[in-house]
Amino acid sequence: MIKKLLKLLPALLIIIAVSGLSYYWLTNKPRAERVPPKAAAPLVEVLTPVAINHQVAIFAMGTVIASQSVNLTPRISGMVVSISPHFIEGGMLKKGEELVELDPTDYVLAIKRSENEVAKAQFNLKLEQGQQAIVRREFQLLGAELNEQEQELVLRKPHLTAAKAALTAAESALKQAHLDLERTRPVAPFNAIITTRNANLGAWMSAFSTGTPLARLVGTDSFWINASIPVDKLRWFNIPGINSETGSPVKITYETAWGKGVFRTGVIKRLQAEIEPEGRMAKVIIEVEDPLSQKPANKQAPPLMLGTYVRAEIAGNNLNDVIELPETVIHDGQKIWLTTEQQTLDIREVEPLWAEQGRIYLSKDQLPDNAAVITSDLPTPVQGMSVKIAQ
């Protein structure tokens, strides 16, 4: 028995030693000391703006309309006997150029009749003037005393007045006949393009009917653009008769037809009296001269067609000593983030003077000198928090 115990004794000793060591290490484990976490300053990008002068631009959309148009109706009646080669839809006419010719036969005969009437009236007047000379001598020889009314009758003054009136009427009728003959050739009242043609050879045109006119003419010296603009932007540019004698210049673009970078120029002409009932927008008239590029100076310019919907960029007033920034630096309405010299966040409220094409403009005094404006996004900005500026 003792021998068996002696054999087991080394194993028992090893078990006891291992158990003791295990207990020691379990009850005396190393522990790390707790260290409070350090706040990491967010990395931000900044820009340092400088004061500039900027001319504001007001953007609007508008429809091209005619500045002059007329439904040309003949002033006399007659059959169309000839047509100008330009008398087609799209034909260009100079001021005073003939469109058609009406049959002049009746009006030539009317002139001859009137000339005959004038000759008769002139003969009657001369005959009456001879009678006047005879009765005047007879009256002087008789030496009779008559009152004023009796003298007028004796001296045939009413007869002379009637003869003169007849001559005047005959001469007026002759002038009217010549006018009617001239009107057998209707002419364009201004430089124009024909948008609608209604007469052909052999057609009868009547001056006493309210029916179809000869043609519809649209003036080519200028077109208008009827543009819609927010009411609060009217004070930013010049409007003749409202705040200036001359209108602001305008750049007209139509990328769909003209491509990028191509434009025509115009000028603000007038402000309409009423605003749009739907969008509550003001309406201004923009005038574009030589819209169809007929003058040599505009030969390379694209034509401006009636009814097109174009974009207008109005050159407005100047902003002096302003800070230009991207709109993305404005947060929560009108707040901007700056960094101080100690690299802390400074949240300031600003009031933009103007916004345009993704840019805002602030007066110079709204920011400190050499201000560093944060352009990065901060998830939870807090006034005075530390930031780190990216190099």
Is the CB of residue 263 less than 8 Å from the CB of residue 253? yes
355 sits in which H/E element:
strand 354-356
CA distance 216 to 199: 11
165-224 pLDDT, tens per residue?
999 999 999 999 999 999 999 999 999 999 999 888 988 888 776 667 889 999 999 999
CA distance 44 to 91: 65
Residue 19: per-residue pLDDT: 73
Mean pLDDT of 281-294: 95
Mean pLDDT of 288-302: 93
Residue 181: per-residue pLDDT: 93
9-51 pLDDT, tens per residue?
677 777 777 776 676 666 776 666 676 666 678 888 999 999 9
247-283 pLDDT, tens per residue?
999 999 999 999 999 999 999 999 999 998 888 899 9
Mean pLDDT of the chain, nearest integer: 87
For residues 65-83, one letter each, b for 16 or more C-beta atoms within 10 angstroms of the residue's C-beta and e for the rest, the string is ebbbebebbbebbbebeeb
Q: Does residue 55 have a pLDDT over 60?
A: yes
Residue 139: per-residue pLDDT: 61
Residue 132: per-residue pLDDT: 74
Residue 16: per-residue pLDDT: 76
Q: Which DSSP letter does residue 88 get?
A: S
With bands split at pLDDT 50, 70 and 90, how would you rate the model's confidence at 148? low
Residue 369: per-residue pLDDT: 86
Residue 265: per-residue pLDDT: 95
Residue 159: per-residue pLDDT: 77
Residue 284: per-residue pLDDT: 96
Q: Does residue 153 have a pLDDT over 70?
A: no
Q: Does residue 150 have a pLDDT over 60?
A: no
CA distance 23 to 17: 10
pTM of the shown model = 0.75
Residue 33: per-residue pLDDT: 67
Percent of the chain residues topping a pLDDT of 70: 86
Strands 372-374 and 354-356: unpaired
Is the CB of residue 186 less than 8 Å from the CB of residue 100? yes
